[in-house]
């Protein structure tokens, strides 16, 4: 059979082109530049101390007492870790959102740094601070910079707290064990950075997507497990003076037992919603729709660290400007962070008058403190600092104050022993209270008043003795106030007598009918 | 005696300027070289470690050759399709040719769209499609290349005349 003329003509260039391309590609891939090996052996980090010895299998524990792990068992070369500022070249919106978050400054926050140093001072081995830095400074941890002797060169990526690469390379998380039990595949970040960048990356983004959006990572980033691995904190003999396990932060477990978990509402659905307050209000109405877009602001409960009203003090508290961030963008994104944080906090709680009755001495009132919008306890987190309290004021017909509980003293930065407060106390081995977050000295943790579970409430009763001559009708004014830290912490850490602004989560103002004496 | 096929003036000029050999022109010869080179480099890009620096050079070569191919192939098809398909005497050839043309269209369009973010980056702007689109483009570009190359082989081998017909 005769071969068609066109095939005969074109077979030659097709074969020649194919052979030439195979040879060229083969030569290039065979003899061209090889990818640099990723990872740094622990033994290659000068003076890296392992004071706590190996684990029960004899393996090194480079991050102990944090439970942080690397996928390869190797450390990272800091010069090859991309900083979030580099990610901003293409992901500017995500970067600017993240830059205002607490995650971005988790390792720069001045108070945090001071508290870590205070804890180091109280520990026999300063490497015990790896317990804190596992969650607060994974880039530093994985580079071997969290050490008694700093022998690893600085890099932009190491100044960031929970950075882009942290979540976007996470491959495993154990929220039950907590204490930073996350496995990070920073080798993916190192390898990807050696590959095509810029225009070439955009033309073929598969390597980039494989490094930062691998199926295991993508699934984990949608899961509460990733958050829970750091937002579950347990003190034991490895990191404190506790003889028995003390659960200090149980946000993940609180969520796991809540209506939110049962209905598939994750941490990300609220804290990373484009409009977190609107998302929570919709959930309060029973609307389980997922956010149309997820933001990288990771809105939480710290309204102080985004309060641009603090002026330059805020920049100092936040540890200065992040790499790649201009002052103008920083200011704008912090303003938006503050707005969203305040709106978010206002969705969390409610106050309701549940009962009022006359007594021989005066009045009895019951106020329900409701957790309306938080998908975990109220308050949650590490609550030796973060706390809420009720401020209750009763005024008579003339407007004179006839009763007060909480509020005044608290607002003046001292604690009011009479106030109804939801707080936990860190106790030293001798039973004395530690007010400055000395984790390593803590032996026991005790709640003064149990926190309020998601969609739950705590009814607080007040027996009010009315002064002689007090005339009704009486007006009850109640506020649920929230404070991010105790003044002692700021004083001890920064040696400054700075008041910590409080935030009113919910208010109640009601006239008490039929109780006029 | 078949009827003379009317040709647009542009087509006539292109045909006259193409130095024809038996079975093809210098341009189509060059196009075939490019096509096979692109197929192999595309395969290398798909299969080799993507994080490697050496990947970038092959990728740039593939992009540049793809641009040249698109620039040469589209005007060539503009003349070849009306001339070739209109003279086809076999239904199976006509139909398979349309399928081959479909593969080539998908291949070229997916390649150009995939390269668009890189081109836009070149003028100082950042734009890229969502991951699903990007993944879809890679997938479509890769698999349509097999259809396009296999179809080209079939197209070149398949007769478009009927035995015994005048």
pLDDT, tens digit, 9 for 90 and up, residues A251-276 = 999 999 999 999 999 999 999 999 99
User: Minimal Cα–Cα distance from B80 to chain A, Å?
Assistant: 13
Residue A477 pLDDT: 96
CB A202 within 8 A of CB A89: no
Residue A445 pLDDT: 95
Q: Which of A4-8, A353-357, A381-385, B99-103 has the lowest mean pLDDT?
A: A4-8
Does A189 reach chain B within 8 Å, measured CB to CB?
no
Q: Which of A5-9, A219-223, A360-364 has the lowest mean pLDDT?
A: A5-9
Instruction: Report phi then psi at A255, rounded to 5.
Output: -65, -40
- Rounded to an integer, what distance in angstroms lies between the CA atom of residue B120 and that of residue A199? 8
Instruction: Kindly state whether residue B41 falls inside one of the protein's structural domains.
Output: yes
User: Could you report the per-residue pLDDT of A282-317, keeping only the tens digit for each?
Assistant: 999 999 999 999 999 999 999 999 999 988 889 999
CB-closest option in A8, A21, A209 to B37: A21
Q: Strand, coil or helix: what is A181?
A: coil
Cβ–Cβ gap A195/B50 under 8 Å: yes
Instruction: Kindly state whether residue B20 falls inside one of the protein's structural domains.
Output: no
User: Could you report the per-residue pLDDT of A388-446, keeping only the tens digit for each?
Assistant: 999 999 999 999 999 999 876 555 556 677 789 999 999 999 999 999 999 999 999 99
- Rounded to an integer, what distance in angstroms lies between the CA atom of residue A377 and that of residue B54? 53
- The conformation of residue A32, written as its DSSP 8-state character, comes to S
Q: Report which of residues A491 and A188 the model is more confident about.
A: A188
Residue A27 pLDDT: 82
Q: How many helices (H) and strands (E) does chain A have?
A: 20, 16
CB-closest option in A29, A92, A211 to B44: A29
Instruction: Kindly state whether residue B14 falls inside one of the protein's structural domains.
Output: no
User: Could you report the per-residue pLDDT of A173-221, keeping only the tens digit for each?
Assistant: 999 999 999 999 999 999 998 888 899 999 999 989 999 999 999 999 9
CB-closest option in B32, B36, B51 to A192: B51
Q: Strand pairing partners for A363?
A: A358, A464
Mean local confidence (pLDDT), A332-341: 97
- CA torsion, points B9, B11, B13, B18, in degrees to nearest 10? -170
CB A303 within 8 A of CB A342: yes
Domain total of chain B: 1
Interface of A with B in 313-342 (CB under 8 A): none
- Rounded to an integer, what distance in angstroms lies between the CA atom of residue B45 and that of residue A190? 20
CB B45 within 8 A of CB B55: yes
Q: Which ipTM value was assigned to this complex?
A: 0.80
Residue B17 pLDDT: 43
Cβ–Cβ gap A209/B45 under 8 Å: no
Instruction: Report phi then psi at A351, rounded to 5.
Output: -125, 140
Res. A62 pLDDT band, cuts 50 70 90:
very high
* Residue ranges of chain B whose pLDDT lies below 70: 1-22, 49-53, 161-166
Q: What percent of chain A has pLDDT over 70?
A: 97
Instruction: Kindly state whether residue B111 falls inside one of the protein's structural domains.
Output: yes
A228: its two tokens: 């829970």
User: What average pLDDT does the structure give for chain A?
Assistant: 92
Cβ–Cβ gap A195/B55 under 8 Å: yes
Does A2 reach chain B within 8 Å, measured CB to CB?
no
Domain ranges, residue B94? 26-165
Residue B164 pLDDT: 66
Phi-psi region of A323 (alpha: psi -120 to 50; beta: other; left: phi over 0): beta
Residue A257 pLDDT: 97
Instruction: Kindly state whether residue B44 falls inside one of the protein's structural domains.
Output: yes
pTM: 0.89
Residues in chain A within 8 Å Cβ distance of B37: 17-18, 20-21
Instruction: Kindly state whether residue B42 falls inside one of the protein's structural domains.
Output: yes
CB A221 within 8 A of CB A68: no
Residue A414 pLDDT: 60
Among A7, A10, A26, A82, pick the best mutation site for testing chain B contact (most B Cβ within 10 A). Answer: A10
Mean local confidence (pLDDT), A451-465: 96
DSSP string for residues in A76-128: --GGGSPPHHHHTTT-HHHHHHHHTSTTTTTTT-HHHHHHHHHHHHHSSSGGG
Residue B163 pLDDT: 66
Instruction: Report phi then psi at A55, rounded to 5.
Output: -80, -175
Cβ–Cβ gap A10/B28 under 8 Å: yes
- The conformation of residue B45, written as its DSSP 8-state character, comes to H
Instruction: Kindly state whether residue B129 falls inside one of the protein's structural domains.
Output: yes
Sheet strands (E) in A22-88? 69-70
Instruction: Kindly state whether residue B3 falls inside one of the protein's structural domains.
Output: no
Closest Cα partner for A338 from A288, A399, A277? A277
Cβ–Cβ gap B131/A213 under 8 Å: yes
């Amino acid at each position: 059979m005769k071969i068609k003329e066109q095939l005969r003509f074109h077979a030659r260039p097709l074969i020649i082109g194919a052979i030439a391309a195979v040879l060229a590609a083969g030569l290039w891939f065979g003899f061209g530049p090889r990818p640099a090996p990723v990872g740094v052996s622990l033994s290659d980090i000068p003076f890296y101390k392992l004071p706590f010895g190996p684990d029960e299998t004899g393996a090194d524990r480079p991050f102990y007492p944090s439970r942080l792990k690397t996928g390869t068992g190797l450390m990272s070369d800091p010069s090859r870790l991309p900083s979030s500022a580099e990610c901003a070249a293409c992901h500017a919106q995500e970067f600017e959102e993240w830059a205002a978050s607490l995650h971005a400054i988790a390792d720069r926050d001045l108070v945090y740094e001071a508290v870590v140093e205070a804890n180091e001072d109280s520990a026999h081995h300063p490497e015990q601070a790896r317990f804190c830095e596992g969650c607060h400074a994974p880039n530093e941890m994985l580079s071997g910079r969290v050490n008694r002797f700093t022998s690893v060169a600085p890099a932009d990526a190491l100044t960031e707290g929970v950075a882009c690469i942290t979540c976007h390379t996470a491959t495993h998380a154990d929220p039950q064990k907590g204490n930073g039990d996350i496995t990070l595949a920073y080798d993916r970040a190192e390898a990807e950075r050696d590959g095509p960048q810029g225009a070439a990356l955009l033309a073929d983004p598969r390597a980039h997507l494989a490094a930062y959006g691998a199926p295991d990572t993508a699934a984990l980033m949608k899961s509460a497990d990733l958050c829970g691995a750091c937002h579950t904190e347990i003190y034991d003999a490895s990191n404190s003076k506790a003889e028995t396990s003390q659960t200090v932060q149980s946000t993940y477990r609180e969520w796991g037992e809540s209506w939110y978990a049962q209905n598939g509402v994750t941490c990300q659905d609220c804290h990373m919603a484009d409009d977190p307050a609107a998302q929570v209000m919709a959930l309060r109405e029973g609307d389980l729709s997922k956010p149309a877009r997820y933001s990288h602001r990771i809105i939480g409960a710290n309204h102080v660290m985004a309060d641009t009203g603090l002026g330059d003090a805020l920049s100092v508290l936040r540890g200065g400007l992040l790499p790649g961030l201009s002052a103008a963008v920083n200011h704008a994104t912090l303003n938006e962070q503050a707005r969203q944080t305040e709106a978010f906090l206002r969705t969390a709680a409610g106050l309701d008058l549940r009962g009022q009755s006359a007594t021989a001495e005066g009045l009895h009132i019951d106020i329900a403190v409701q957790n309306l919008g938080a998908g975990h306890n109220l308050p949650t987190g590490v609550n030796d600092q973060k706390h809420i309290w009720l401020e209750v004021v009763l005024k008579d017909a003339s407007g004179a104050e006839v009763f007060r509980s909480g509020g005044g003293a608290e607002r003046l930065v001292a604690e009011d022993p009479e106030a109804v407060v939801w707080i936990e106390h860190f106790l030293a081995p001798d039973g004395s209270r530690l007010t400055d977050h000395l984790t390593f000295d803590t032996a026991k943790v005790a709640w003064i008043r149990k926190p309020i579970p998601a969609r739950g409430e705590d009814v607080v009763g007040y027996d009010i003795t009315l002064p002689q001559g007090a005339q009704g009708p009486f007006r009850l004014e109640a506020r649920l106030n929230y404070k991010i830290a105790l003044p002692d912490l700021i004083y001890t850490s920064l040696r400054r007598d700075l008041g910590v602004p409080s935030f009113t989560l919910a208010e109640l103002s009601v006239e008490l009918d039929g109780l006029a004496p | 005696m078949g009827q003379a096929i009317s040709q647009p003036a542009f087509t006539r000029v292109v045909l006259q300027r193409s130095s024809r050999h038996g079975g093809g022109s210098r341009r189509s010869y060059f196009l075939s070289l490019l096509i096979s080179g692109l197929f192999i480099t595309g395969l290398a890009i798909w299969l080799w470690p993507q994080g490697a620096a050496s990947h970038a050079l092959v990728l740039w070569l593939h992009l540049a050759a793809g641009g040249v191919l698109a620039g040469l192939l589209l005007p060539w098809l503009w003349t070849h399709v009306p001339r070739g398909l209109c003279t086809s005497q076999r239904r199976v050839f006509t139909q398979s040719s349309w399928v081959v043309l479909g593969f080539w269209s998908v291949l070229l369009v997916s390649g150009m769209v995939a390269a668009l973010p890189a081109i836009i980056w070149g003028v100082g702007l950042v734009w890229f499609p969502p991951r699903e689109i990007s993944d879809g483009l890679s997938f479509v570009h890769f698999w349509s290349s097999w259809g396009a190359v296999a179809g080209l082989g079939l197209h070149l081998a398949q007769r478009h005349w009927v035995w015994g017909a005048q």
